[in-house]
Each structure stands twice: as structure tokens, then as C-alpha cells.
Structure 1
Amino acid sequence: MVAQQALSTVDNLKTRGFHMANRCCLCQHQEETHVHLFFNCSYTNQVWSSILQWMKISRPSKNLKQELSYFDVGGTKWRMYWFHISLAATVYQVCLGRNRHIFRGECKRLDAIINKIKFVAAIRILMINHRARLSLVLDALNS
């Protein structure tokens, strides 16, 4: 749904006739659009930048469409898995965090979301490749 821009972001709801305030609930600075939410929002940009740093990819974060087509992670096939799994985990946790904030009034700390993404990504890598670097899993569990 995210890749197809089919999430119920405020801009999508407005096109369907719903009238509501159009502020991003995560950063409170700009209008909530699909493009803004992934990763133009200062909040989600910080999350994704931290995950890129964890993966030892030193470049600025891009928007979601560019990230989905990014293949220059260098290294082995498992690094590519690591990148795509981490991207999927990030998008999922951003969606969960946004929905928790809207529907329950809960706002998770930035470091808690980052640690959850690392944990989920490390466990999924381990499930795909049981010989994956143990240091990746241990790093995620210790952060």
C-alpha cells in the first residue's frame, strides 16, 4: 500500500471528500502527504537516517520512491536483504507510530522506534540467512 501511495494520509482523505486539518502529526510542521510522511518529514527522516547509519550506508536519506529503487548498498547479497528489510521495517514502524499518535494519542520516542526497527530487521535477516553476521543481531539486541 505504501509503494502504491494508497495509505489514508490526510491528502488522500481530502480527495475522497473528508475535511480535516492537514498537519503531519509526527513533525507538526508541514502538511501530511504521502511524499512528506516517507521521508521528507523531519521525524521520519531522522529515523531513516539513523537506520542508514546503522547499516553503514553513508549518504543522505532520499524519498521513499528513490529508496525503493536504490540498489547501490555495496557488498554482498545479504547487505541488499538487510537494506530492503530495514526499509520495510522502517515504513511499517512509521505507519504504526502515526496511527498510534492519531487514534490513541500515543507518541513513541524516536530512539524506541529506531531500536524496534533494528531488532525486527536483524531477526528477519537471521531468519533468511542463519549464517548472517551475528554482530548485526547482537548490535540490534544491544541498542
Structure 2
Amino acid sequence: MTYSIHRYQALAHLTPREEAALRALAQTETHRRRAETFQREGDKHTGFHLHIKGWIASSITLRSGKRLIQKVHLPGDMLGTPSMALPTAADTLSCITQSVTAFVPYTRFRDLYRSEPRLAALFTMAVQVERITLMDTLAAVGHATARERLCRVLA
């Protein structure tokens, strides 16, 4: 699999065994069409996705019925991780461009904690870094003009 592991390498030096385990974590790559939605908010789910190629948007439905794009994901991101603690998907994942993802069943992720505990801890840290980034974005957007919010999305 061609999943970018640069985020994990930024957190710690990975051993060759850890790199191999990370690259083997997901199932077969799935090629997705532009505008394809492959996870819907409220759907049952059994895992998350590794983002390999393209641009993918994560969005939620507001009480008004409008959609709010929370993040534009780039290769190397983990998609759907906010749903890990929930019985249904917390967000909708839609392709902005042609994209490639690879599905990781929760059972396979659980096994990573047994076989490669340090790598599993790094994975958990990477998820938390994404969460902190989202919190920072929400704080900035809450007090920003429309132009500043657009610049934040594009940054």
C-alpha cells in the first residue's frame, strides 16, 4: 500500500518493522470518484480509512439542515477517526477530487495494540494532533470574517 507515513515519522523514528506494520494495516486500496460520498453521518461503521490520494472533505449537518465542512483532508490523514468512540459515523466523507483510500477494520486496529504497542500509541497521538488542529480551527473560525475563514480552509 502507498499510504504516506510522514505524520508518524514526525512523531518518532519508526523501525522498519513498524513501517511495515503501518503499511499493512489497511485492506485493499479503493479508488473513488470525484463527488463520491463513502461515509454518511449516522451510518453504522466498523472501521476508519487511511487517505492515500486526492482531496476528501469531512462534513457534518447543522441543526438548520446546512452542511458544514469541518476539514479538507489530504493524503496521510486518517478519515473517520472521530467515530471510533460512537456507534454510528460522526461525519460524512466525500471526495472533492478523484481519491484513493484504504479501509482499516477496528479489529485489525485492535490487533495493532497487541503486536505493535508503540506504533498503536503513535497512531493515537496522530489522531490527537488532528483533534488539536480542529480545535484551533474552530476557535479561529468562531471570531473570523468570511475572508479569514476561507483563507483558513485554504491554508
TM over 0.5: no
Q: Which is helix-richer, 1 or 2?
A: 1
